[in-house]
Structure 1
Amino acid sequence: MSPRPAPALPHGLTRELVAHALALAHGDALPANVARDVFRIGRHSLLDWFAVACAAWQEPPVQILLAEIQEEGATPCATLLDGSRGSAVQAALVNGTASHVLDFDDAHLQSRVHPSVPLWPAILAQAESGQRSGKCSGREALAAFAAGVEFQSRVASLMGEDHYRLGWHNTATLGALGATVAVAALLRLDTERTAHAVAVACTQAGGMRALFGTMGKPLHAGQAAAVGLRAARLAARGFTAVPDILEREQGFASLYAGKWEPDRVWHDASVPRVHGIVYKYHASCYGTQAPIEACLQLRQDHAFSSDEIRTVEITVEAQYLDVCCIANPSTPSEAKFSVAHMAALALLGRSTVDAGSFTTALDDPALAALRRRIVVRAEAAMPRANARAEVTLAHGGTYASHSDASRAKTDLARQEVRIASKARSLLTPVLGSDRAEALIGTVLACDALDDVTACFSPCLAPV
């Protein structure tokens, strides 16, 4: 058993974190210019979420879940992305799982949480299914998203690196807590009732990194959305638990981490954590993004062919060795967690987005041969989401490139262009050009909507 860590957690921490997040949701905590950027980032994440979820709808994990909930039956009150309907919890589960299947969704490196996949499915299911009078506006939904990101990210700061090191998947565990607070914000729950809702979610939170590279990982996201949604809705009906679950003896922090870092919780308390969200432009684990970019830069800067490559050495943060370092992937899911596979795609000039790069490419002799010449090593000083790629050629020449994928973009206009382009490439094959453009336009202007669930319309029927 791990010794009790020090310093002790402050009494009232759960309530304090809840109150901070709810203040952000209810618009009392931000200057107008800060709120403008928070809403814009929220729109970017919502569009990114729709794109990656729609593109994955026919994938086996989604279809298996659909078959299961169809057999369960339920009151149809919330929309799934294929136009069918189910209960609010079913919609959160399936839509959430779909959005993490491609592993192409956004990330928050500071918390190690993929923020959108537990939050948006829960927010949209609640917005559509009610449990309060009136419609949910786009601004309310965006504010709830910011509150959810805030809560899950600051709890991540409390848990430090130890939570992830022990084998927990932060998107599953902390994402469930963020989804709880986001839905509680929509339900206008007060601090005390929301704190009880967080405890209800904590007692159900789970998800292990041992399942990375399998269907279990995207299920984590859907389950987190469903757990958070149900926890907040139960609290709204009067369900109680404890209001101090984070800090109490044998509570969440003491059970889910061996070390605590309470001093980090309020670091930059005036800066909303949504500013830390980063987006993927390669359809694989975020730990592979910097290696891909470094390899692409090498290919662009130096005129060598793949046949000339003798060895490739890729250096990453140490923890990525047991996150995304599958040397010889045999399934599409494993390929997304293989630095060697993704680096080989980049060096060969292959797409890092197309489905074929994760299916038929697995049996490509040229790709397999290059993968075998790639060595991935760790360096203690390498910052998170950074990588160095060094190529040694048969004639003895050596080229190196470094990439930093850790920094969120500050040019939100440029970011919007890139996310819209990514969404277009994913949505057009599924929806057609007209409906894809309608969805992009609707989501990027959703803060003006009286009813945020209007965002579903372009997904479901021709415009």
Structure 2
Amino acid sequence: MSDSKPDRYITRMLAEWACETDVSMQPEDVLAIARHSLLDWVTMVLAGSHDPAIARLRRYLDEENGAAGPATLLAGGARVSSTHAALINGTAGHVLDFDDAHLPSRVHPSVPLWPAILAFGESNGVSGEKALAAFVVGVEVQTRLAALMGESHYKLGWHNTATLGSFGATAAVGWLRGLTPLQMRHAFGIAASQAGGLRAAFGTSCKPLHAGRAASLGLFASGLAAQSFDAEPSIFDVDGGFPDLYADQTFPDAVAQEEGHWDIRNVIFKYHASCYGTQAPIEAALQLGKPSLESVGSVRVGIENQYLSVCNIQTPETAAQARFSIRHMVALALHGADTASQQAFSHECLADQQIAAWRERITVQGDAALGRANACIEIAFTNGSTERITVDASRPESDLERQRQRLCAKSRALLQDRYAADSLDGLHGFILNLDNVADMRTWMDDFRAWERNSRLIQ
């Protein structure tokens, strides 16, 4: 297509910004959040790699191409191709749906980015400092694109982590490759021709697969562009381009950001192992303590209307469905179960009669007065009394030291049954000092040694 249209600037703007970003431009708090995101994502990979969906994915890929490669699968240390490492680690990091979130963009920031960055970084020996900077670049590109696409992109049924995350991964790895702005524009065009992922897949193994595919697409698109493979270089501007096809209404003026604005500051973390739409209802339920089942007549959960179509599975039959069931997660919290534990999603827990009885008392309703990621619980007791609690789970943590401590505690809770408990502090320090690493190949060698020596089940 011709590039003569005078207002054809968004693709160029994003490509130039991504290519020209320098490590020195990124403030310390921004890099601290990047380190926290890596800690949380690695925890998710190590905890999620034992999910049956990951075993099935690996079995297929081994049958297709079992040759060893230059990149590492974090759980188990196997060496595979960079694209397969990104695909498998990316899927594993999202399979528990317990990873970080950026609510304005509706993207889970880490799962399309870190798998691609680590695979490329290990294969090419980049520094830890550059890996962190690439993550920040990827977050910014995918959030700016979300601002362009507006709410209609998600409402049409697209999974933003899959679609927009593909461009974030492309930008992150493209920055590491040293693409020129024109090459980056072609990389975006390549990614656009491959991007996809449907919300209809939520509650199935395909949702985490979306994240892995986005990560591997970032490697693929940027790699092809580095080889001068061509694509439409103004894919966010041309008629029939990505915004035209994937959104009903777009907002071009929202793409540019003021100097000093970093969207990574709006990243938030989950402390319950389920969809972000369930986080506020769980927090509200926990504030009720642990009431006895016999004392409660009914529980009404009010949520933002959009979550009625996202995480409102009434009677989950699988762990994947349970993570998208407000009724089940609130029932777990009221019952006193650990909502960060994988035991909460076991077959025994799903079939537990007490938890089922709690679910029967719970009604989930949309409430137009509630803000994004807010929830209200009204509980009616059999003695005639009532209690109402409202929680806002949309705000990022302002105390980064407290955030680090909570993420380390979450990591210990998830990994202590699989890795020696006294080794986990070492793991956390190892990850949180990534910016001091000169070569990601050495870092990954040390990681594989830690994983092998600390594993409780060989």
Structure 1 portions without partners, runs of 5+: 1-7
Alignment partner, residue 174 of structure 1: 164
Which residue identity is paired with 1:124?
L
- Secondary structure of 1:388 counterpart: strand
Alignment partner, residue 87 of structure 1: 81
Alignment partner, residue 119 of structure 2: 125
> How far is 1:28 from its partner?
5.2
Which residue identity is paired with 1:375?
T
Alignment partner, residue 350 of structure 1: 337
> How far is 1:9 from its partner?
10
1:266 aligns with 2:256: yes
The 8 Å contact of residues 431 and 459 in structure 1, kept in 2 or not, is answered as no
Alignment partner, residue 395 of structure 2: 407
Q: 2:64 aligns with which of 68, 72, 87?
A: 72
Q: 1:209 aligns with which of 187, 190, 199?
A: 199
Which residue identity is paired with 1:189?
L
**Structure 2 CA distance for partners of 1:267 and 1:9, relative to 1, 3 Å:** farther
- Secondary structure of 1:389 counterpart: strand
Which residue identity is paired with 1:79?
T
> How far is 1:265 from its partner?
2.1
Q: 2:242 aligns with which of 249, 252, 263?
A: 252
- Secondary structure of 1:205 counterpart: coil
Identical aligned residues as a percent: 48
The 8 Å contact of residues 103 and 336 in structure 1, kept in 2 or not, is answered as yes
1:97 aligns with 2:88: no
Alignment partner, residue 329 of structure 1: 316
- Secondary structure of 1:314 counterpart: strand
Structure 2 portions without partners, runs of 5+: none
Which residues of 2 match residues 365-404 of structure 1 at below 5 A?
365-404=353-392
1:419 aligns with 2:419: no
- Secondary structure of 1:431 counterpart: coil
Which residue identity is paired with 1:229?
L
The 8 Å contact of residues 435 and 458 in structure 1, kept in 2 or not, is answered as no
Deviates more, 1:431-440 or 1:312-321: 431-440
- Secondary structure of 2:377 counterpart: strand
> How far is 1:29 from its partner?
3.6
Which residues of 2 match residues 271-310 of structure 1 at below 5 A?
271-299=261-289, 304-310=291-297
Alignment partner, residue 106 of structure 1: 100
Alignment partner, residue 182 of structure 2: 192
**In 1: Cα distance, 2:6 partner to 2:319 partner:** 42
**In 2: Cα distance, 1:329 partner to 1:38 partner:** 38
Which residue identity is paired with 1:428?
Q
1:53 aligns with 2:69: no
Q: How many pairs does the alignment contain? A: 444
Alignment partner, residue 44 of structure 1: 36
1:16 aligns with 2:6: no
> How far is 1:275 from its partner?
0.5
**In 1: Cα distance, 2:249 partner to 2:189 partner:** 20
**In 2: Cα distance, 1:274 partner to 1:239 partner:** 31
**In 2: Cα distance, 1:269 partner to 1:376 partner:** 42
The 8 Å contact of residues 438 and 458 in structure 1, kept in 2 or not, is answered as no
**Structure 2 CA distance for partners of 1:263 and 1:382, relative to 1, 3 Å:** farther
**In 2: Cα distance, 1:404 partner to 1:102 partner:** 23
**Structure 2 CA distance for partners of 1:9 and 1:37, relative to 1, 3 Å:** farther
Alignment partner, residue 224 of structure 1: 214
Using the size of structure 1 for normalisation, the TM-score is 0.93
**Structure 2 CA distance for partners of 1:136 and 1:223, relative to 1, 3 Å:** same
The 8 Å contact of residues 108 and 276 in structure 1, kept in 2 or not, is answered as yes
Q: 1:27 aligns with which of 19, 23, 32?
A: 23
> How far is 1:423 from its partner?
1.2
**In 1: Cα distance, 2:393 partner to 2:91 partner:** 25
- Secondary structure of 1:282 counterpart: coil
1:339 aligns with 2:333: no
1:462 aligns with 2:456: no
**Structure 2 CA distance for partners of 1:101 and 1:183, relative to 1, 3 Å:** same
- Secondary structure of 2:388 counterpart: strand
**Aligned-residue CA RMSD (Å):** 1.6
